[in-house]
């Protein structure tokens, strides 16, 4: 059984690949995560959280 790990996507990304990486981890469509992130961004905390996530989540280079 393979252990799931959270990575930023290097192929399916718009800005830094954070939303796509989270969607891959949760096994859902990246568009849903992106829409949720926009909603949180309008509340004020989303922008800071995205920047922090882009810094601390490692990139998985896919071929």
In a domain, 1, yes or no: no
What integer pLDDT is reported at residue 4 of this predicted model?
Answer: 84
Q: How confident is the model at residue 62 (pLDDT cuts 50, 70, 90)?
A: low
Of the candidates 47, 45, 19, which has an alpha carbon nearest to the alpha carbon of residue 33? 19
In a domain, 40, yes or no: yes
By residue range, what is the domain housing residue 25?
8-60
Q: Over the stretch 27-51, which tens digit does the pLDDT of each residue have?
A: 999 999 999 988 888 887 778 888 8
In a domain, 41, yes or no: yes
Rounded to whole angstroms, the Cα distance separating 59 from 10 reads: 7
| Total residue length of the chain | 63
């Amino acid at each position: 059984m393979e252990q799931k790990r959270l990575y930023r996507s290097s192929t399916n990304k718009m800005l830094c690949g954070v939303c796509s990486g989270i969607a891959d981890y949760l096994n859902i469509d990246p568009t849903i995560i992106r829409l949720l992130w926009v909603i949180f961004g309008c509340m004020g905390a989303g922008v800071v959280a995205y920047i922090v996530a882009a810094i601390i989540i490692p990139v998985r280079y896919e071929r």
